[in-house]
């Protein structure tokens, strides 16, 4: 019996400092956008980063979001009206001191990109935008703000100018959004609800008429502890939830829950992780089954890898393939392109100056066999000329630096200062005064330390690696 094997290509892009992936968007012409954030431009801020690869998977151009904020992260993007242009959704620190939602419209000119419009939704409370989706013929942004979930029609100028959100959530519970998907104008939103101190995966649905259909908080009634939604994969007649959860005798695992009765009652729960640490990232319906993207640690001394798993229609295991290197990788997004290619986006550590870089895999099909490393596949590394030519801040000229960085349990400022520690999504994790910053309880990933001493402010990227 002959078994087909996918062709695999890999591109790595970034600069001197931290370049962190957030979303992947394919284009009708066969190209792909890699979206994220960067500090590699070297002016002490974090800005949104857009890199475009053409239909031959060659680097075409890149662009940063407009300056003016200490921190701006891209969280998602959507193609504009069947063109190769894109709207991107970002989270930025506003002049009023809160985190606001911003949308930038970028025109793809083939060899360059141009931001042609930007608008910011001003709010007195911190906003955490998460996703964009097309529903009822309009583009909606989804997110949460200080415990409640929201959506807003960004095609409605009046709604945007008045910050006219549609809010939902239990008044006595803390809820957040993780992902959204739309099929046949049925809207699915997944997230997490904090119930008596325990995280519970949650699913909300709305119909084509805009009316709420059903919701389910904590569909896995036998969950051992915290469990949180990662993604949702709609199919004709229902949807499948991907969620991750604490386990009694093993590290974090993940599973799927199928909903097909139209009333929010689960029809089956399948553990899809095995004995390893496997945290879910994305789930898509594909070729009569499903594709699951997750982060895995095989406990083999090679760190974290990305793993692509083929599942049957009801979640049964078919095959899996690890996409890894000798560095740590964090999966972020996955899409099936217009030509059927499978695109996978993540963040990898070590290719460019040992810093975080954005990596994009292209697979011709899901027929991947075995464990792939960078040495096995077509690899292209781009030290982004836009970032390479930026004015780099020399370390000896920085009064406030963090060491060690990356760090596991603690890090220190070179001088005592007033500091605030932010997650990559802009949420405040901790604050204080002094030189020691405790990182206990933080997950692996990119964080930002805003430190102030006298009349000087520094915004310092920090990578936590446990």
395-445, pLDDT tens digit by residue? 333 456 777 777 878 888 877 888 999 887 778 899 999 888 999 889 877
Full set of structural domains in the chain with CATH: 8-388 (2.130.10.10), 400-464 (2.60.40)
Q: How confident is the model at residue 392 (pLDDT cuts 50, 70, 90)?
A: very low
**Average pLDDT value for residue range 304-320:** 90
Top mean-pLDDT range of 6-10, 164-168, 393-397, 439-443: 164-168
List the Cα angle 36/38/44 in 5-degree steps: 150
Write down the pLDDT at residue 376.
64
Closest by CA to 334, choosing from 367, 314, 362, is: 362
Report the Cα–Cα distance between both ends of the chain, in Å, rounded: 44
Q: How far is the C-alpha of 220 from the C-alpha of 199, rounded, in Å?
A: 12
Q: CB count, 10 Å around CB of 412?
A: 16
Structure tokens at 180: 């959204």
* Choice among 11-25, 143-157, 260-274, 365-379 with the minimum mean pLDDT: 365-379
**Could you read off the pLDDT of 363-387 as tens digits, one per residue?**
988 775 555 566 567 777 777 777 7
Q: Provide the pLDDT for residue 3.
A: 43
Its pTM stands at: 0.83
pLDDT for position 394: 36
The pLDDT score that the predictor gives to residue 200 is 94
Task: Return the number of other C-beta atoms located less than 10 Å from residue 98's C-beta.
Answer: 17
């Amino acid at each position: 019996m002959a078994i087909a094997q996918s062709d695999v290509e890999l591109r790595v892009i970034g600069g001197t400092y931290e370049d962190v992936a957030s979303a992947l968007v394919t284009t009708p012409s066969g190209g792909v956008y890699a979206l994220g954030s960067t500090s590699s431009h070297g002016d002490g801020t974090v800005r949104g980063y857009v890199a475009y690869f053409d239909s031959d998977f060659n680097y075409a151009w890149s662009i940063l979001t407009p300056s003016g904020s200490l921190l701006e992260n891209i969280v998602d993007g959507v193609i504009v009206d069947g063109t190769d242009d894109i709207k991107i959704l970002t989270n930025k620190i506003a002049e009023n001191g809160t985190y606001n939602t911003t949308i930038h419209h970028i025109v793809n000119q083939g060899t360059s990109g141009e931001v042609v419009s930007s608008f910011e939704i001003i709010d007195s409370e911190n906003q955490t935008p998460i996703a964009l989706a097309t529903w009822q013929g309009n583009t909606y942004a989804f997110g949460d703000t200080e415990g409640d979930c929201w959506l807003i029609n960004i095609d409605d100028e009046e709604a945007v100018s008045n910050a006219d959100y549609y809010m939902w959530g239990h008044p006595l519970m803390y809820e957040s959004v993780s992902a959204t998907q739309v099929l046949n104008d049925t809207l699915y939103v997944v997230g997490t609800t904090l119930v008596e101190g325990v995280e519970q995966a949650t699913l909300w649905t709305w119909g084509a008429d805009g009316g709420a259909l059903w919701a389910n908080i904590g569909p896995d009634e036998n969950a051992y502890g915290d469990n949180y939604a990662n993604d949702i994969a709609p199919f004709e007649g229902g949807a499948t939830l991907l969620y991750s959860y604490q386990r009694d005798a093993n590290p974090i695992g993940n599973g799927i829950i199928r909903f097909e009765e139209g009333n929010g009652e689960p029809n089956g729960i399948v553990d899809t992780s095995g004995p390893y640490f496997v945290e879910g990232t994305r789930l898509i319906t594909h070729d009569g089954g499903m594709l699951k993207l997750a982060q895995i640690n095989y406990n083999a001394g090679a760190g974290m890898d990305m793993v692509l798993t083929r599942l049957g229609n009801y979640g049964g295991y078919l095959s899996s393939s690890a996409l890894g290197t000798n560095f740590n990788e964090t999966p972020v997004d996955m899409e099936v392109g217009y030509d059927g290619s499978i695109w996978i986006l993540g963040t990898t550590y070590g290719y460019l100056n040992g810093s975080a870089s954005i990596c994009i895999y292209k697979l011709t099909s899901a027929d991947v066999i075995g464990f792939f490393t960078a040495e096995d596949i077509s690899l292209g590394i781009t030290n982004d000329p836009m970032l390479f030519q930026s004015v780099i801040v020399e370390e000896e000229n920085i009064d406030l630096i963090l060491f060690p960085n990356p760090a596991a349990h603690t890090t220190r400022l070179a001088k005592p200062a007033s500091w605030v520690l932010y997650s990559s999504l802009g949420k405040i994790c901790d604050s204080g005064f002094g030189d020691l910053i405790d990182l206990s309880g933080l997950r692996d990933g990119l964080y930002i330390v805003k430190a102030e001493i006298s009349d000087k402010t520094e915004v310092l990227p920090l990578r936590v690696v446990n």
